[in-house]
Structure 1
């Protein structure tokens, strides 16, 4: 399992305009972006009966993990079950593609569809659902603008318009009722890279003086929902 550096910041729109203008001349756009250079991400996060992922983040635990189901642009063409592992400022992610049928079964509470020992991530999630009552907790929506560089395997993202779904696991519902999760003046700015961050990119993004983000999108959105919304599913 390979770990990468991950740095997160809050930036305002003025800072975004400055940094994004620099990056447009230096890096390539994410291949998944539309004509505007953006795409929509929706994730359904899971947590266990003790809200372990939530409390470990709030408690500052240095090594932690969380599970989510993710789609793009409200489409079911690409559905992933993902596990994100965090160690200090390093991250790793494993994922497995799901069919719409499997995703719908999970959302309906039929976790047996993940009982597939030959697919380790699915089987691991299944065991967590059976033994730790891993359940859907909150939907997280945002618009992403992303840039990539092969040098250093760098990925830089601006996540905008963060919203949370209101008491629903209907991840495929384009008309899902959502609310803003924080002041819309802020943008989440993330920098991910492997062994090194090229100096020309470091200079362009001007991270000195920026505010490091301590809360994850999952934690930010959970504050709008009761902890036990779906505990009994």
Structure 2
């Protein structure tokens, strides 16, 4: 297995803290939300729409998932992310190891670019973590992150994202939907693949907790700021019994 690592500049400034707000929307609201964002924002010029896939890592007893569901002040997510559809015919794919850390409402993201053979992004290799565990932990150490327990690949999550820029402030806005997941660990989960959550999520990322005036028009969607997590919502869905009411909805909601 050949992994081409693109080293980050060790003298570069640490990532900036930013405020991330999430607004869960129902399946029926996705079209209206997309139209509204196109009206009040600019489409992202470089990547207006595309598919994102993330392989999430956690401890064997899912410590970070439990922190997310309990609303802990300190949360860290480790994932490997790549872009484009699964039927891409490139022999080599670009991937990114990401450490996303949140402390209350504020968060940062460290990122390391790599290139790997495309075969490693198929299911047999995803369950092995794409890269060796020793390399994963060594790279996380360069971010200043030292998990106490070994991290394991837990779930693959794929979704479609529309990207926007709020024109007055430059705040980044995204609309994510068609959120599908496949569990890699034997428990929790029912062995299902491509389990799709209902609804979507609007994410707004900037340096202020206040919404720009243009984005306050989202009030017509009758949505509230939530701590919706794709990672935890997907694990919860797999952990519920097949046919359970509200299984594919966020915790506390039945849509």
Deviations along 1:87-121, whole A, 9 cap, x unmatched? 22222111101220599487266223346579713
Matched, 1:80 2:96: yes
How far apart are the structure 1 equivalents of 2:55 and 2:26?
A: 26
- Name the counterpart of 1:93: 109
Contact preservation (8 Å) 1:32, 1:39:
no
What does 1:165-184 align with in structure 2 at a 5 Å threshold? 165-167=182-184, 177-180=193-196, 182-183=197-198
Unaligned runs of 5+ in 1: 169-175, 227-233
- Name the counterpart of 2:200: 187
Matched, 1:29 2:39: no
- Greater Cα offset, 95-104 or 134-143: 95-104
Over aligned residues, Cα RMSD in angstroms?
Answer: 3.3
Deviations along 1:115-167, whole A, 9 cap, x unmatched? 6579713x84xx54xx5111100011111111013643311111111110143
How far apart are the structure 1 equivalents of 2:235 and 2:140?
A: 33
How far apart are the structure 2 equivalents of 1:152 and 1:45?
A: 31
- Name the counterpart of 1:139: 156
Matched, 1:217 2:230: yes
Unaligned runs of 5+ in 2: 1-14, 186-191, 240-255
Structure 1 runs of 4+ aligned residues shifted over 4 Å read 101-106, 114-119
Matched, 1:5 2:57: no
How far apart are the structure 2 equivalents of 1:151 and 1:188?
A: 22
How far apart are the structure 2 equivalents of 1:41 and 1:108?
A: 16
- Greater Cα offset, 206-215 or 158-167: 206-215
Structure 1 residues 22 and 224, CA, compared in 2 at 3 Å: closer, same or farther?
A: closer
Q: How high is the TM-score relative to the length of structure 1? A: 0.74
Matched, 1:202 2:215: yes
Q: How many residues align?
A: 208
Contact preservation (8 Å) 2:81, 2:95:
yes
- Greater Cα offset, 13-22 or 75-84: 13-22
How far apart are the structure 2 equivalents of 1:189 and 1:11?
A: 7
